[in-house]
Amino acid sequence: MRIATWNVNSVGARLDRVLAWLESAQPDVVALQELKCTTTEFPEMPIQAAGYEVAAHGNGRWNGVAILSRVGLDDVTLDLPGQPPYAGVVETRAVGATCGGVRVWSVYVPNGREPDHDHYAYKLEWFAALRATVAAELAAVPDRPFAVIGDFNVAPTDADVWDIAQFVGSTHVTEPERAALANLRGAGLVDIPPRALKGEPYTFWDYRNGAFHRGWGMRIDLVYANAPFASLVRDAWIDREERKGKGASDHAPLVVDLDTSPA
């Protein structure tokens, strides 16, 4: 089974590339983030025509998530239980589903903006709700392969950014954010790191200043999985080619290959 996560930075603007990538990469399950469309505006028909069931969740703001699956789409859950609002709105940042016996959550963790911004406090509250959701689901079905995948907007270590000195005083690398990630792992998850390509583990490169070509990236798209999921992993890699060319997202797909064949 091939499972992927990809912040597409507007599924409407990127639809042709998404469809072409589904054809070339042949993933079985895809978690999408930053749809930038409402649920009703999501291009469900062309994606269904490509062979995928769709669980999309969007409110048209700078968020929105989806799960695409060609191996089943069951027990769909929209939003985290107890998910905190921001400015009075519960943003569309999480969708869960069971696909071919694997439980997957597609998440788009809040950016945080600046450490002294109220969006940063919201980010940490959101992580707490995610941790509670993970702990509850793992306790309910401990032997089922389970993964939280998506754009976490946190680089786990200094090695996951191109130059840590450039991030002093910025979000994505602060101790509270990294502590929230560690707390999430403490619920029973491990980081599934991808193979580094060209010496880089990065999944995101800013559009500005030629960051992609200079290698100025970050690893903020992650796969956090329980032991049953991790035991099935045969490969994990970043499709760096998809970050190239006209109309690319600023994120590359992160792909994990599982061996789910009977023992």
Residue 57 has pLDDT above 90, yes or no: yes
> Which residue, 68, 62, 79, is CA-closest to 25?
68
pLDDT at position 18 is 98
**Strands (E) located in 58-178:** 65-69, 74-78, 94-99, 102-108, 146-151
Residue 197 has pLDDT above 70, yes or no: no
CB 11: neighbour CB atoms within 10 A? Answer: 25
Residue 189 has pLDDT above 80, yes or no: yes
Of residues 200 and 165, the one with the higher pLDDT is 165
Rounded to a whole number of angstroms, the distance between the first and last alpha carbons of the chain is 15
Residue 59 has pLDDT above 70, yes or no: yes
Question: What is the spatial distance between Cα 61 and Cα 137, in angstroms, rounded to a whole number?
Answer: 28
Residue 250 has pLDDT above 80, yes or no: yes
pLDDT at position 262 is 73
Mean pLDDT of 171-178: 97
Close Cβ partners of 20 (under 8 Å, ≥ 6 residues apart) = none
**Do the beta carbons of residue 257 and residue 9 sit within 8 Å?**
no
Question: By percentage, how much of the chain surpasses pLDDT 90?
Answer: 93
**Do the beta carbons of residue 3 and residue 149 sit within 8 Å?**
yes
φ/ψ of residue 134, rounded to 5? -60, -50
Close Cβ partners of 181 (under 8 Å, ≥ 6 residues apart) = 127, 152, 154, 156
- In CATH, the number for domain 2-258 is 3.60.10.10
128: buried, middle or exposed (CB in 10 Å: 19+, 13-18, 0-12)? middle
pLDDT at position 198 is 67
Residue 263 has pLDDT above 70, yes or no: no
The 10s digit of each residue's pLDDT in 212-221 is 999 999 999 9
Question: By percentage, how much of the chain surpasses pLDDT 70?
Answer: 98
**Strands (E) located in 58-145:** 65-69, 74-78, 94-99, 102-108
Residue 199 has pLDDT above 90, yes or no: no
Residue 80 has pLDDT above 80, yes or no: yes
* C-alpha gyration radius of the chain: 17
The vertex-19 CA angle with 96 and 38, nearest 5°, equals: 50
Question: What is the spatial distance between Cα 70 and Cα 192, in angstroms, rounded to a whole number?
Answer: 23
**Do the beta carbons of residue 169 and residue 115 sit within 8 Å?**
yes
pLDDT at position 61 is 81
Mean pLDDT of 219-238: 98
Question: What is the spatial distance between Cα 183 and Cα 87, in angstroms, rounded to a whole number?
Answer: 26
Furthest-apart CA pair in the chain: how many Å? 51
Strand order from edge to edge, sheet including 221-225:
74-78, 94-99, 102-108, 146-151, 221-225, 190-191
Say what the pTM is.
0.97
The 10s digit of each residue's pLDDT in 115-131 is 999 999 999 999 999 99
The 10s digit of each residue's pLDDT in 251-260 is 999 999 999 8
